[in-house]
C-alpha cells in the first residue's frame, strides 16, 4: 500500500514534476505507472494528492524509460524489474528482441510486396495483383514437373518460409517446417526455369536467413557463403542488388556465429554495395536488412 504521509521536511523526496524531468518520463506516464502498480510514488499527500518520489527510485524510473524507448511491453518491464537474476532479465529482453525481429521480417515482406504492386504496369495489375496477394500457388502435384512447375513450387515454399519467419513464438513443429520448407524451396529453385545462378543464390540466401534467425551460426555461414559464390558468378540474370544481399547474409551469419569483426567487415561491404543499386526500392530493402544486423 502506498504511503500517505506528508513529504514536507524530507530532503530525500522529489515532487512528481522534478522526478519526471530527471527520469525522462512524463507526469502522465508516472501517474499511469502508479495506477498499474509498476512504479509507486514513495509518498502521496493525503490532502492534495500530490505524489513524491525518493531519490533511490530514479534508477528504476530511468530503466523503465529506457525499456519503453525500446518498445518493451509494460508486462515485460514488470517481469524485468521483478528479478535481479541477470539470466532472467536477458530472457525477458531476448523474448522482446525475437518479437521485434518477427515483426520486422513481416514489415519487410509487406514493403517488398507493396513495391511490386506499385511498379506493376497498369495493363497487368488486375491479374498480377491477385498473384502477389496470394501466399500459395495452386499446383497440380500429379502433373509433369517441368521448369515452370519447379518455379511455382519454389516461390510457394519461399513465401511459406517467410510467413513462418513472421511468427514470433514458433513451436518446434513450426521450426522444423520452416527449415524443411527452406531447403525444399532451394531444391526447386535448382530446377526452375530462369537464371540458374540467380535461382540458386536466392535459395541459399533464404536458407542462411532461416538459420541465422534460429541462432545457428555454422549452417548460416555455409549457406551465406554459397549465396556469395553464386552472386559472384554471372550468367546475365543477376540484379544489381544480389551481391549486396549476399554480403548482408554473410554479415548476419558471422554475427550469429559470434565473429563480430567479420560481421562488421561484411556489413561494410554490403553498405558500400548499396551505391551500385539503381532502384531506390531495391536499395531500401537491403538497407532494411542491414538495419536489423546486431553489429
Domain boundary among the residues 22, 52, 70 is at: 70
Residues 33 and 162 in one domain: no
pLDDT digits (tens, 9 = 90+) for 234-257: 777 788 899 999 999 999 999 999
Query: Is residue 36 located within the same domain as residue 176?
Result: no
What is the extent of the structural domain holding 240?
97-291
In this structure, is residue 169 part of a structural domain?
yes
Residues with Cβ within 8 Å of 187's Cβ and at least 6 positions away in sequence, in order, are 203
Looking up cell 515532487 gives 15
Flag whether 201 is in a domain: yes
In a domain, 228, yes or no: yes
Do 101 and 238 have their domain in common? yes
Residue at a domain's end among 53, 70, 87 = 70
232 with 121, same domain?
yes
Q: Is the domain of 198 the same as that of 280?
A: yes
Rounded CA-CA distance 174/172 in Å is: 5
> Is the pTM here over 0.75, yes or no?
no
Q: Is residue 80 included in any domain, yes or no?
A: no
Residue-wise pLDDT tens digits, 6-38: 444 456 899 999 999 999 999 999 999 999 999
Same domain as 146, residue 65: no
Q: Is the pLDDT of residue 139 over 60?
A: no
**How far apart (Å, rounded) are the C-alpha atoms in residues 44 and 4?**
5
Tell which of 70, 86, 118 closes a domain. 70
**What's the average model confidence in pLDDT over 193-222?**
93
Q: 145 falls in which pLDDT band (50, 70, 90)? A: low
Task: Please tell me whether residues 169 and 257 are part of one structural domain.
Answer: yes
Residue-wise DSSP of 46-85: TTT--EEEEGGGHHHHHHHHHHHHTT--HHHHHHHHT---
CATH of the domain at 64: 1.10.1660.10
Asked whether the predicted pLDDT for residue 70 surpasses 80, the reply is yes
Residue 1 is assigned to a structural domain of this protein: no
Q: Radius of gyration (Cα) for the chain, nearest Å?
A: 25
SS3 14: strand
Does 157 reside within a domain?
yes
pLDDT, position 186: 95
Q: Based on the domain organization, do 179 and 143 belong to the same domain?
A: yes
Percent of the chain's residues with pLDDT above 70: 87
So what's the pLDDT on residue 140?
39
**Confidence (pLDDT) at 122:** 61
In a domain, 79, yes or no: no
Shared domain check, 101 and 61 = no
Q: Indicate whether 192 and 136 sit together in one domain.
A: yes
Supply the pLDDT for residue 10. Answer: 59
In a domain, 189, yes or no: yes
Q: Which residues of 178-190 are buried (b: 16+ CB within 10 A; e: fewer)?
A: bbebbbbbbebbe
Say which CATH number the domain at 170 has.
1.25.40
Rounded distance between C-alpha atoms, residue 115 and residue 132, angstroms: 11
How many structural domains is the chain composed of? 2
145 and 266 together in one domain: yes
Q: Please check whether residues 243 and 201 belong to one and the same domain.
A: yes
Amino acid at each position: 500500500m502506498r504511503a500517505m504521509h506528508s513529504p514536507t521536511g524530507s530532503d530525500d523526496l522529489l515532487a512528481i514534476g522534478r522526478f519526471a524531468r530527471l527520469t525522462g518520463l512524463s507526469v502522465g506516464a508516472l501517474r499511469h505507472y502508479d495506477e498499474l502498480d509498476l512504479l509507486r510514488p514513495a509518498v502521496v499527500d493525503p490532502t492534495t494528492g500530490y505524489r513524491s518520489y525518493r531519490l533511490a527510485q530514479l534508477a528504476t524510473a530511468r530503466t523503465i524509460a529506457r525499456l519503453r524507448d525500446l518498445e518493451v511491453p509494460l508486462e515485460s518491464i514488470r517481469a524485468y524489474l521483478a528479478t535481479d537474476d541477470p539470466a532472467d532479465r536477458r530472457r525477458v529482453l531476448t523474448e522482446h528482441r525475437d518479437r521485434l525481429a518477427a515483426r520486422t521480417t513481416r514489415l519487410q515482406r509487406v514493403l517488398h510486396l507493396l513495391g511490386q504492386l506499385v511498379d506493376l504496369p497498369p495493363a497487368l495489375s488486375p491479374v498480377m495483383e491477385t498473384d502477389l496477394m496470394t501466399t500459395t500457388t495452386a499446383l497440380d502435384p500429379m502433373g509433369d514437373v517441368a521448369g515452370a512447375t519447379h518455379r511455382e513450387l519454389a516461390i510457394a515454399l519461399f513465401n511459406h518460409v517467410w510467413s513462418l519467419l513472421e511468427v514470433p513464438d514458433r513451436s518446434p513443429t513450426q521450426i522444423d517446417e520452416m527449415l524443411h520448407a527452406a531447403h525444399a524451396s532451394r531444391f526447386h529453385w535448382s530446377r526452375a526455369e530462369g537464371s540458374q545462378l540467380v535461382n540458386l543464390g536466392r535459395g541459399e540466401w533464404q536458407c542462411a536467413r532461416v538459420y541465422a534467425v534460429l541462432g545457428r551460426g555454422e549452417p548460416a555461414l555455409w549457406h551465406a557463403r554459397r549465396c556469395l559464390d553464386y552472386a559472384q558468378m554471372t550468367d546475365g540474370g543477376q540484379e544489381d542488388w544480389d551481391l549486396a544481399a549476399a554480403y548482408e547474409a554473410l554479415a548476419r551469419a558471422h554475427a550469429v556465429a559470434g565473429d563480430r569483426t567479420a560481421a562488421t567487415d561484411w556489413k561494410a561491404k554490403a553498405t558500400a554495395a548499396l551505391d551500385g543499386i539503381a532502384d531506390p526500392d531495391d536499395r531500401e530493402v537491403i538497407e532494411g536488412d542491414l538495419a536489423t544486423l546486431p553489429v
